[in-house]
Amino acid sequence: MTNETGSYLKTSDVTLYYVVYGDSTGVPLIALNGGPGRSHQALLNAPVWNELAQERPVVFYDQRGTGRSSRLEAGGSCTLGDQLLDLEVLRTHLYGGSHSEQSIEAEQVDLLGHSWGGYLAMAYTARYPQQVRRLILVGSAAPRIQDTVMLAKELFPEIVERREQLKVAWRLGDEEAFQEAERLYRSLCFYSSKKRDEFLATSGRSVMHFDVARALNADLQRFDLNPVLPKFTQPTLVVTGRFDLIVAPSVAYAIHKAIPNSQFVVFEQSGHRPFFEEPEAFAQTVRQFLTEDNDPNHDLTTESARVKH
C-alpha cells in the first residue's frame, strides 16, 4: 500500500488523517496501529490489507498527534478519552448515517487493534459496545497496561541494554541514535530472520511522536479494563505470535480467558507481526472470522495457526 490518497477530518480540537482501502459494501474494518506515538504506517508494509479490502472497506487513520494528523499543540490534550472520541467521530463521519461520507451506511463496524491499538480497541468496545460488530486483537497490550509482559529483555538482554544506552543520545537530539534504536526494536519483532531482514530492508526510517507517547503512557496508568472484558458480547478473535517478544502470548491468553466465547489463535511461526510473517494464514483466519456465523466453536485453524476455544 503505497502512494495512498487519504482525506482529512477536522474535529473540535484536532485534524485527523485517514485513508479507506477497497470499495466493497461489506462491513467496514477499522484497523488501529500500535505505538502509542506511531502513525498508521506501522501497520502497512504487508499484503494482507489489500487482500482483506477486496471484500470490505479497510480504514486506517493517524491517531491524534501522529503521522499526517495535526501535531499536538503546547498543552494540548492527548488522553485515552481523547483517542476514544477521535475514533467515534471518525466512525460517525464515515459510516454513521445518511450524511456520512462513504456510500455505505453501517450500523456497526469491525475493529482490529495491534499492540497498543489492541488496548485502544478494547477500550472503545467498552465505551461504545453498540458500535462494534466483531473485535480482533493482535498482540494486544494488557488490559492493565502495567501488566504487559515483554520477553525481549529475558532472551536478548544485550539488545535491550544497547537500546537503553542509545536513549541517552536520542533524547539529546541524535536522530541516528534513534534510528539505530528503532532498528534494534524492529529486529525483536520477528521469529523468521528472513522476514525480519525483509521488513528492515523495506520499512524505511522510523518516526515516533514522543509527546504523544509520553502523554498517553502517563494517562493509561489510571485505567484497568479487566473488569469490563467479561461483559463483552461481540464475537472476539484474540491473536498472538508464538514467539512474540514484545507482548508475551500469556497476555493474549489472559485476554482470551476474560472475554466470553472468544477465540484464541496462535501463529506458530510469528513474533509480534503475524500479519507480516504469515500473511496468507493471517488473512485467511481474519476473513473466516469476519464472515462466519456466531458459533464460537467454529474452527479457524490454518496450517500454521493453532486455535483454542
Q: Which three cell numbers stand for residue 246?
A: 514484545
Instruction: State pLDDT tens for residues 240-252.
Output: 999 999 999 999 9
3-state secondary structure of 18: strand
**CB-based contacts of 288, cutoff 8 Å, min separation 6:** 298, 300
Rounded mean pLDDT, 4-14: 91
pLDDT digits over 158-197, tens only?
999 999 999 889 888 899 999 999 999 999 999 999 999 9
φ, ψ for residue 220 (rounded to 5)? -65, -20
**Residues 59/30, Cβ–Cβ less than 8 Å:** yes
User: Is the per-residue pLDDT at 270 higher than 60?
Assistant: yes
Residue bearing cell 502517563: 218
Residues near 157 by Cβ (< 8 Å), separated by ≥ 6?
Answer: none
Distance, CA of 262 to CA of 260 (rounded, Å): 6
Predicted pLDDT at 259 = 98
pLDDT at 152: 96
Please determine, for residue 209, whether its predicted confidence score (pLDDT) is greater than 70. yes
Q: What is the share, in percent, of the chain residues with pLDDT greater than 70?
A: 91
- In contact, 112 and 29? CB cutoff 8 Å: yes
| pLDDT tens-digit readout, 44-82 | 888 899 999 999 999 999 999 999 999 998 888 999 999
Q: Give yes or no for residue 83 having a pLDDT over 70.
A: yes
Instruction: Specify the DSSP class assigned to residue 96.
Output: S
At residue 296, the pLDDT reads 47
Reading the block at residue 221, the C-alpha cell is 496508568
Q: What DSSP letter does each residue of 181-218 carry, written as one string? A: HHHHHHHTT-S-HHHHHHHHHHS-S----HHHHHHHHH
Higher pLDDT among residues 192 and 304, named by residue: 192
Q: Which pLDDT does position 287 carry in this prediction?
A: 96
Cβ atoms of 229 and 246 within 8 Å: the answer is no
d(CA 151, CA 79): 27
The amino acid present at 87, given as its one-letter code, is L
